[in-house]
Chains A and B, each alone.
Chain A
Amino acid sequence: MSVPARAAGSRPAPDPAGPLLEVKYLRKHFPIQHGFARRVVGQIRAVDDISFSIREGETLGLVGESGCGKTTAARCILGAHAPTSGEILFRTAEGQVVDLAGLSPQRRRPLRRQIQMIFQDPYGSLNPRMPIFDIVGEPLLVNSMKDRRQRVERVAELLRLVGLRPEFMQRFPHAFSGGQRQRIGIARALALHPRLVVADEPVSALDVSVQAQILNLMLDLQQKLHLTYLFIGHNLSVVKHICDRVAVMYVGKIVETGTTEQLYKAPRHPYTAALLAAVPVPDPRQRAGAVELRGEVPSPANPPSGCYFHPRCPHAVDLCRTQAPVLRELSPGRFVSCHRAEELVLPGVA
């Protein structure tokens, strides 16, 4: 899949050797087992044949409602799940392209430091019995930085980087607020100079007044350290704020990708348009109009025929009920899986 030109106003795109990460036809199915013999009676198609790529230095947003497979996709990339099929091509620091999907744990180990994760819940993701120095310093220790003085120095540097005072490194997580804890989590993720950072809903557990701080920090760090983010989120306002490009998922499939501006201004898939219309605008003078998505997200164990979205789609025709659309390129970098993408004019947001 090719990569679109950057939106105006964003940073230059250094990309001589192709994308940093390329996911091709990724599938992750979970078996549904039944009875004493654990007979497999069906498959939950959590991630069903998705493809996308991330260039070095950019942020790709993966959005969708709960159960759409966005977190499962991220877990496959991180190696927490073994994919059912497909390729996860990662360009290592040495310039080799490696397929993470087929890698044995031993061969994967040296690559792990290059892909790190920022977690959703800053309360659950820090060990309450470990001081900050151990939390942030542990990745250094297991990656053979045995000298304690060296580690103290690096942890102090990391804490300063995320806007915390290094004097606090002997304190325990309970002494910190939610926003500060999330900064600690970010410092830990950055300890080993990762090249790809997977952020799974990093601000959704934070208070409103703190969210902006963390988002600004992530933008800052990206520029300073030349990071690449895979940003997973359900809050379309937050995603718009931080992402260069966005991929929208629905029941395990990507239904649309494009640059943030394209996708928000002129969505080409009815689901994207419906998602955008459902976001409550913080302005009482713009109260929600008549468009409302009916029904609910179907189960990935028993998806509808044809286009998975057709039972809820206001634009569905007979073709949508029988034949599943494929993701096709409408314009360079703009992919949509909708039979009627060309003819439909859908409302977006400014």
Chain B
Amino acid sequence: MVLDAPMKDQTHPLLSVRDLKVHFFMDEGVVRAVDGVSFDVYPGRVFGIVGESGCGKTVAMKAILRIVEPPGRIVSGEILLRRPRAASGGGGGDTVRDLATLDPSGHAMRSIRGGEIALIPQEPMAAFSPVHSVGNQIIEAIRLHQAVDEREARRLAVQLTREVGIPAPEQRLDDYSWQLSGGLRQRAIIAMALSCNPRLLIADEPTTAVDVTTQAQVLRLLRRLQRERHTAIIFITHDLGVIAQMADDVMVMYLGLVMEQGPVDSIFHAPKHPYTQALLRSIPSIQSTPRVSLPSITGSLPHPFNRPRGCPFHPRCPHFMPGTCDRQAPPLREVAGGQLVSCFLYEPAGGQA
């Protein structure tokens, strides 16, 4: 489906997700992994999604790439990707395409996945095939999306691997993934993700599996590439430190719902939602005093099958209002410049702090 809405303005989002719902229909019941999520990703900016396990951050990413596996299904919502007309085969101007309506294994989606939208996965060891050389896999990706011959593809691959800081790229390309160290492997996967000049890069916990000094290198590399290429990045992580270092805009998720969303500075310096506040207070910081008890969040994450009614955070919330928070889910509303919160504390009428 092509919505013919030509847009020229540079401030238009590259990707707009509108009320996305991804549910998993299991024998035991329905898991509403992503349950009504909306956000915009702008060119040249890093959009951070932060949340704990089971919050739906990875499922949201999979929905954008249309790789949600059964019994999961996109139930409703739109995933609008803005593309220059050239990419979609037309003349000037831009078109908007709803990825949610495309056939996941159709030609259109396959040309977008890995081409216009690329993924940096969490586990580079699992992402590379161990029986093909790293170079062959990068070359394959290039040749799938670009009309170049083997020789040219290899030249591009060498150039890319050099750009991501792999020493002696000509030799490294012929190595297998298990011959590379963790840091080099992560760089190689970044090179592969960049091979088709994506306009949107999805990084799913790209540094969770690597050491802290390697993490610093990878984050710095991503920032540099993003500056040079003006790529939009969706950065998914559970590490608030990494989000603070990388993101321009942040979305905080909890059990499939958006708790809070806004510019990174507001989220860290003026968090509004009790969950964001509690999360920020409870993480041990390298700048905190040793051996002082941390304010922790009581309870544990509920199982996805029995998400609490109303606001999912209410059983653990210090500001829980009986009769309100456990009845219905609060809507997401704007409380400050660009900062959205879903909490009854900020309801204009009937809410008391």
Determine which of B52, B264, B287, B294 lies in contact with A281 in the assembled complex, contact meaning CB atoms within 8 Å: B287
B286 adjacent to A65 (CB under 8 Å):
no
B286 adjacent to A236 (CB under 8 Å):
yes
B286 adjacent to A276 (CB under 8 Å):
yes
C-alpha gap A281/B241 in the complex (Å): 5
Segment at the interface with B among A102-110, A124-132, A284-292: A284-292
A216 adjacent to B241 (CB under 8 Å):
no
Segment at the interface with B among A85-93, A206-214, A313-321, A337-345: A206-214
A-B contact count, CB below 8 Å? 165
Which chain A residues border B265 with CB–CB below 8 Å? 284-285
Determine which of B211, B219, B295, B300 lies in contact with A210 in the assembled complex, contact meaning CB atoms within 8 Å: B300
Which chain A residues border B280 with CB–CB below 8 Å? 282
Segment at the interface with B among A43-51, A189-197, A237-245: A237-245
A237 adjacent to B217 (CB under 8 Å):
no
Most A-side CB within 10 Å, residue of B241, B296, B301:
B296
A212 adjacent to B53 (CB under 8 Å):
no
B284 adjacent to A278 (CB under 8 Å):
no
Interface size on B, residues (CB 8 A): 52
- The 8 A CB mask of B58-79 against A (1 = contact, 0 = none) is 0000000000000000000000
B291 adjacent to A242 (CB under 8 Å):
yes
A284 adjacent to B268 (CB under 8 Å):
yes
Determine which of B244, B298, B301 lies in contact with A284 in the assembled complex, contact meaning CB atoms within 8 Å: B244
CB distance from B108 to the nearest CB of A (A): 37
Residue A275 CB within 8 A of the other chain: yes
A243 adjacent to B238 (CB under 8 Å):
no
A177 adjacent to B291 (CB under 8 Å):
no
CB distance from A20 to the nearest CB of B (A): 18
Which chain B residues border A280 with CB–CB below 8 Å? 215-216, 219, 239, 241-242, 244-245
Q: Which of A229-260 contact B (CB under 8 A)?
A: 234-238, 240-244, 260
Residue A327 CB within 8 A of the other chain: no
With contact pairs A234-B212, A240-B284 given, residues A216 and B296 touching in the complex (Cβ less than 8 Å): yes
Q: Which of B211-257 contact A (CB under 8 A)?
A: 211-217, 219-220, 238-245, 247
C-alpha gap A207/B57 in the complex (Å): 14
C-alpha gap A86/B82 in the complex (Å): 65
B291 adjacent to A282 (CB under 8 Å):
no
| A-side interface size class | 35 or more
With contact pairs A210-B300, A241-B288, A285-B265 given, residues A234 and B283 touching in the complex (Cβ less than 8 Å): no
B244 adjacent to A282 (CB under 8 Å):
yes
Residue A66 CB within 8 A of the other chain: yes
Residue A283 CB within 8 A of the other chain: yes
A7 adjacent to B245 (CB under 8 Å):
no
Q: Which of B270-308 contact A (CB under 8 A)?
A: 278-280, 282-298, 300-301, 303
Q: Which of A8-55 contact B (CB under 8 A)?
A: 9-10
- The 8 A CB mask of A151-181 against B (1 = contact, 0 = none) is 0000000000000000000000000011110
Determine which of A278, A283, A285 lies in contact with B213 in the assembled complex, contact meaning CB atoms within 8 Å: A278
C-alpha gap A124/B215 in the complex (Å): 26
A237 adjacent to B220 (CB under 8 Å):
no
B290 adjacent to A282 (CB under 8 Å):
no
With contact pairs A180-B300, A281-B245 given, residues A212 and B283 touching in the complex (Cβ less than 8 Å): yes
Q: Which of B140-186 contact A (CB under 8 A)?
A: 181-184
In the complex, the chain A residue whose C-beta lies closest to that of B294 is A212
A207 adjacent to B293 (CB under 8 Å):
no
A293 adjacent to B213 (CB under 8 Å):
yes
CB distance from A88 to the nearest CB of B (A): 26
Most B-side CB within 10 Å, residue of A208, A242, A243, A349:
A208
Residue B269 CB within 8 A of the other chain: yes
A279 adjacent to B283 (CB under 8 Å):
no
Most B-side CB within 10 Å, residue of A180, A215, A282:
A282
Which chain A residues border B278 with CB–CB below 8 Å? 209
Determine which of B216, B241, B269, B282 lies in contact with A212 in the assembled complex, contact meaning CB atoms within 8 Å: B282
CB distance from A346 to the nearest CB of B (A): 15
A–B Cβ pairs within 8 angstroms, 16 of them: A10-B291, A177-B301, A178-B300, A179-B300, A209-B279, A210-B300, A215-B284, A237-B285, A279-B241, A280-B245, A281-B245, A281-B286, A284-B268, A284-B269, A285-B265, A296-B184
| Interfacial residues, chain A to chain B (CB-CB below 8 A) | 7, 9-10, 65-66, 177-180, 207-213, 215-216, 219-220, 234-238, 240-244, 260-261, 264, 274-288, 292-294, 296-297, 349-350
Known contacts A216-B296, A294-B217; 9 further A-B pairs (Cβ under 8 A): A208-B279, A234-B211, A240-B286, A274-B213, A278-B212, A278-B216, A280-B242, A284-B268, A296-B184
Closest 7 CB pairs of A and B: A280-B241, A212-B296, A241-B284, A278-B216, A65-B211, A177-B300, A212-B282
